[in-house]
Amino acid sequence: MKKGDKIIYFTTPIYYVNSYPHLGHAYTTIIVDGLCRFYRLKNYEVFFLTGTDEHGDKIVKAASERGKGPQAFVDEVAKAFKEAWDYLGLTYNRFIRTTSSEHKKTVQYVLQTLYDKGEFYLDEYEGNYCFGCERFLTSKELDERGFCRDHQRPPVYLKEKNYFFNLEKYRGWLKDYLSKEDLIYPSFYKEEVLNLLEEPLPPLCISRPKSRLSWGIELPFDPEYVTYVWFDALINYLSGIGYPEDPRWQVYWERAHHVIAKDILKPHAIYWPIMLKALGLPLYKKLYVHGYWLMQKLKMSKSLGNVVDPIEVSQRYGKDALRYFLFREMAFGYDADFDYAQFITRYNADLANDFGNLVFRTLNLVEKYFQGRVPAYGPLTSEDLNYRKVVEETLEKYLKLFEAWQFHLALEELWQAIRFSNVYIDRMAPWKEAKEGRLERAGTILRNLLSALKSFALALWPVMPDTSQKLLSSLSLEINTLSFEEALNWEFPPEGSLIYKGAPLFPRIELPKETTTSEETKMAEERKEVYSIEEFRKWDFRIGKIIHAERIEGTDKLLKLEVLCPEKRQIVSGIAQYYKPEELINREVMLVLNLKPTKIRGVLSEGMLLAAHDERGLTLIVPEREVTPGAKVS
């Protein structure tokens, strides 16, 4: 690949400023920030565009409710968005505002170009107008009461002259293009768009009369109108890179990747491609669509009082803890629940116990036995080489999964290596080697671990940049001088480099202890019973491989699993609150097979998964390495 080819352009939506930043806005922008950091570590030139959408009916209404004019109001809210992204450390290249003179100029250029091509026509239209959607609705978009399905309000019947864009003219082309091209990810959103394209597309009203709405960009060919807010907003993806005057706009546009939430799929997957086609411009490279963050299965909304403030969460638990949870908890494309109990469980289990503890133990031992300097390697044992192999294979899988937008699976893969690192340090016991005078052996173990920590820090920089920088600084390394090429280099950090232990990266979050119930006391007493080896041998413990997993309707806790052990069995397991179905595919687990088959919620279960449960949550018991499905556990 030529150096000039290593360029990538990412965009978030520009956020509508009728309200202040919330978790949904933060998720999209943090994901894009993580991807930009990822590609920078792959030595790409990255352009990251975000910003605010500042015109339309809802802006005027929100400003009026606060006793302000539209410009003063959008200035205030746009500033809040920018300050939020700066506080969260997001590395955007440009923060664009649709009220800027540069953007207005580009929008008017596009409008005039399409008007001159004959794409717009003036017509009188009457119909149901939703001020929440800021457009006319079709009958299919109304519920049985005649209300807008999205805003749960009755639309207003309007009759007025406006300019229209004939979308139907391009429906056949777009349908054919989407059928052949891999434009939308995940693919089920592509199918959703193709289903919409089965029906004729109504004309898109691209104007609003100034007599009703003056807060917008004036049509260059008719001063009595302003343009429709979506027509204005979508063009930011071009104006933000200097279209049409900056000669480099095309370099970025050929590599444009849009990231959005599923509620704005239609404008991005139908309106925007047709606008580009009409302009004679190539389509963007890819459209990535994520689901909603929910609270107790409900979409967040101000009226329900369940909106999560990302700044508040960051100030309470840390910016990187929030970023980790967002990347780890949502399978990109699907909805996910934001649950504070699960947040704390993940924090304590993954960050404080697994990762933070590994870092602190390793650096502490180097400080204690090697005067805070990277020790030299001695001869490597088979255990050392196997440890390297596990770390290398895991990192390679992590990088592939991350680049494939499977962030939750990538992090689970990486945590396998982090957990194995804890197993390695426990088994090798470098403190014991040092105490017994075998400093060379202790140094080799710790040098291996220091290099692995460097690799973990590099891998995690897109997800937890502050933590990665702290860890790299503790190893006398700087992120600006490194790339993913150094992730598998076991000579980094170099011998003799200073190591700084510092404070624990993630202090545990202590929760109030609950009073022990009589049932728990009874269970504790039952655990004191002992059994003979003959009784133990009656149980058939085996390793199984999960090949299919799905939720059982009507329950939040149960999953239906198909497991090879080696025959195929169906097992119902109450682990849905801890594992998503897609996380379990190809996972090897420990099973009890000689239980009497039973039905749970009407679904047959032919065995039981074994798991451990403590104050940090539930974790499946898995073999240390891959074994043959059906292997007996003894």
Kindly state whether residues 349 and 440 are assigned to the same domain: yes
What is the separation of C-alpha 570 from the centre of its chain, rounded to a whole number of angstroms? 31
Q: Residue 578 has what pLDDT?
A: 75
Residue range of the domain that includes 59: 1-97+291-338
Examine the domain organization and report whether 438 and 554 are in the same domain.
no
Catalytic site residues?
A: 22, 25, 130, 133, 148, 151, 299, 302
Q: What percent of the chain has pLDDT over 70?
A: 93
Q: Is 130 annotated as a binding residue?
A: yes
The residues facing 295 across adjacent strands are: 298
Q: What is the mean pLDDT of residues 8-30?
A: 95
- The confidence score (pLDDT) of residue 530 equals 53
Same domain flag for 465 and 536: no
Is 148 part of any known ligand binding site? yes
Average pLDDT for residues 571-597, to the nearest whole number? 83
Whole-number Å distance between alpha carbons of 15 and 29: 10
pLDDT at 10 over 50: yes
Contact 544, 627 (CB under 8 A): no
Amino acid at position 524, single letter: A
Q: Can you give the length of the chain in residues?
A: 634
Cα separation of 66 and 238, whole Å?
Answer: 32
Same domain, 463 and 353: yes
Specify the range with the lowest mean pLDDT, choosing from 172-176, 495-499, 627-631.
627-631
Read off the pLDDT of residues 33-90 as tens digits, 9 standing for 90 and up: 999 999 999 999 999 999 999 999 889 999 999 999 999 999 999 999 999 999 999 9
Hey, which residues does 184 pair with through a beta bridge?
287
| Residue 544, both tokens | 């199984």
In terms of domains, do 321 and 436 share one? Answer: no
455 and 422 assigned to the same domain: yes
In a domain, 201, yes or no: no
Categorize the per-residue pLDDT at 302 as very low, low, confident or very high, splitting at 50, 70 and 90. low
Assess if residue 377 is contained within a domain: yes
Q: Which CATH number do you get for residue 41?
A: 3.40.50.620
First to last CA, the chain: 52
Rounded to two decimals, the pTM is 0.80
- In three-state secondary structure terms, 353 is helix
Give yes or no: residues 391 and 438 share one domain. Answer: yes
List the structure tokens of 514.
């609950």
Q: Tell whether 146 is covered by a domain.
A: no
Q: What is the predicted pLDDT for the residue at 603?
A: 83
Give the residue-averaged pLDDT of 151-157: 82
Q: What is the pLDDT of residue 617?
A: 64
Q: Are residues 478 and 344 in the same domain?
A: yes
- Residue 615 domain flag: yes
- Please give the single-letter amino acid code of residue 460: L
**Checking DSSP bridges between strand 588-592 and strand 608-609, what pairing results, if any?**
antiparallel
Residue 118 covered by a domain: no
Distance CA 54, CA 60 (A): 10
Per the structure, the count of domains in the chain is 3
Averaged over 183-187, what is the pLDDT? 97
Q: How far apart are CA 196 and CA 141, in angstroms?
A: 12
- 228 has which bridge partners? none
Going by C-alpha positions, the residue among 368, 379, 611, 622 that lies closest to residue 501 is 368
pLDDT at position 355 is 98
Higher per-residue confidence, 578 vs 11: 11
Confidence of residue 21 (pLDDT cuts 50, 70, 90): very high
Q: Are residues 446 and 315 in the same domain?
A: no
CA distance 481 to 438: 34
CB neighbour list of residue 68: distance below 8 Å, 6 or more residues apart = 76
Please state, rounded to an integer, the average pLDDT across all residues of the chain. Answer: 90
Highest average pLDDT, of 308-317, 554-563, 570-579, comes from: 308-317
Q: What is the mean pLDDT of residues 481-490?
A: 91
205 is in an annotated binding site: no
- pLDDT tens across 217-263, in order? 999 999 999 999 999 999 999 999 999 999 999 999 999 999 999 99
Are the CB atoms for 384 and 444 separated by under 8 Å?
Answer: yes
Split at pLDDT 50, 70, 90, the class of 129 is: confident
Span 143-169, average pLDDT: 87
Residue 245 within a domain? no
3-state helix, strand, coil in the chain (%, to 5): 45, 20, 35
Beta strand pairing call for 218-219 and 336-337? unpaired
Same domain, 344 and 475: yes
Amino acid residing at 14: I
Query: pLDDT for 564-574, tens place per residue?
Result: 887 778 889 88
For 333, the token pair is 């494309």
H or E element that contains 473: helix 465-474
Radius of gyration, alpha carbons of the chain: 28
Question: In this model, does residue 204 exceed pLDDT 70?
Answer: yes
Token pair belonging to 270:
């139908």
Q: Helix, strand, or coil here: 255?
A: coil
The answer to the question of residue 17 being in a domain is yes
Q: Residues of 601-625 as b/e, b for ≥16 C-beta within 10 angstroms? A: eeeebbbebebeeeebbeebebeee
Measured on CA atoms in the order 137, 138, 141, 145, is the torsion positive or negative? Answer: positive
Q: Tell me the CATH number at 435.
A: 1.10.730.10
Same domain, 371 and 455: yes
Q: How far apart are CA 514 and CA 448, in angstroms?
A: 41
**Strand partners of residue 219:** 222
Q: What is the pLDDT of residue 368?
A: 97
In terms of domains, do 480 and 547 share one?
Answer: no
Q: What is the pLDDT of residues 339-396, one digit of tens each?
A: 999 999 999 999 999 999 999 999 999 999 999 999 999 999 999 999 999 999 999 9
Is residue 160 scored above 70 in pLDDT? Answer: yes
CA distance 159 to 154: 16
Residues 510-564: pLDDT tens digits? Answer: 876 543 444 434 433 443 455 556 566 667 788 888 888 888 877 777 888 888 8
Distance CA 239, CA 14 (A): 12
> Pick the residue with more confidence: 374 or 577?
374
Domain with 553 in it: what CATH number?
A: 2.40.50.140
Distance between CA 634 and CA 632 in Å, rounded? 6
Residue 290 among known ligand-binding residues: no
Residue 284 lies in a domain: no
